[in-house]
Chains A and B, each alone.
Chain A
Amino acid sequence: MIKFILAALTIGVVAGYVNNNLTSFVASNWVTDYLFSASLFVSLFVMGLSFGIDKEAVAKLRSKGLKILVVPVVVALGSILGGLIGGLILRLDIYASMAVTAGYGWYTLTGPLIKSILGTQWAAMGFAVNFLRELLTIFTVSLMVKVDKYAPIASGGATTMDTTLPVIVRYCGSDVLVTAFSSGFALSMIAPFTVVALASLK
């Protein structure tokens, strides 16, 4: 399964690069907007379907209640601590480093936000760190799930409400769907605030 995912990702990157820089065989927004959105909607629909069919999944969630919000809170703290330690190791500005990891994997948000506050050099970092977070989550999901059932959700950060959700649900089971989605949603909600607040401290 992970082989197919990595193949699809690699072929996608190469096709996107070739199409954008060498020869244009499709309008790139046809894939990046329409195909992406359509497949995202269909996969979310199928995720919902598999959760709805699973009788035990609803019961499991009911027993958890509001406690699932603990997940995004500790993921936010862990991400920002990771940025702090990374900044200290690399001898970079610690506030800027924390701002970069406070995007929780949402690179299309963090890149532009950081660019507007800290300029292009840090924007590149904002893009790259969060993009790698999403990529590493997809790459390592089969290993992560052996560490802890919720480890892929922690790893995915804000991306677990959309792009990494189907992959996570496939490995962790449909009962993690709501935890993953709500964690991704909560982190997506706070990401703009944490990025801007930490970046402004520099």
Chain B
Amino acid sequence: MVNFAVLVLPLIAGLFFGYLLRERKKVNLAKVTLGIILILIFSLGFTIGSNNELLGSMSSVGLSALLMALLAIGFSVLFVALIRRRVRI
């Protein structure tokens, strides 16, 4: 996991600055967050769109893959919902 440190650093930096800003008045992050999410999602889409191998795989195995993805999501959600009734998380 080469990515871990790279991902954790901005997160920790954010936590630290957030903690410092805690006593200040209201900080409205909603608009900044939405803007940055849209840029992130756009570049994710761009990455998918420029990957011909990925687009090709979608047309050949699309429906079977959709069923598998739905089942994996469905059982993950079901298990988490069930376990949350037993363990308080």
- Residue positions of A touching B, CB distance < 8 A: 1, 4-5, 8-21, 28, 31-32, 35-36, 39-55, 64, 67-68, 70-71, 74-75, 77-79, 81-83, 85-87, 89-90, 92, 97, 100-101, 104, 107, 111, 121, 123-125, 127-133, 136-138, 144, 147-148, 150-151, 153-155, 157, 161-163, 166-167, 170, 179, 181, 185, 188-189
Contact = CB atoms under 8 A, between A and B. Distances in A.
Interface of B: 1, 3-4, 6-7, 10-22, 27, 29, 32-34, 36-58, 60-62, 64-84, 87-89
B22 A147 contact: no
A89 B60 CA distance: 18
A21 B56 CA distance: 13
A32 B65 contact: no
B50 A28 contact: yes
Chain B CB within 10 A, most for which of A125, A132, A136, A148: A132
Given A124-B61, A162-B7, 19 more contacts: A12-B49, A16-B49, A20-B49, A20-B50, A32-B50, A44-B11, A46-B33, A55-B22, A68-B89, A78-B74, A78-B75, A83-B68, A85-B75, A132-B69, A148-B77, A150-B81, A153-B80, A166-B40, A170-B34
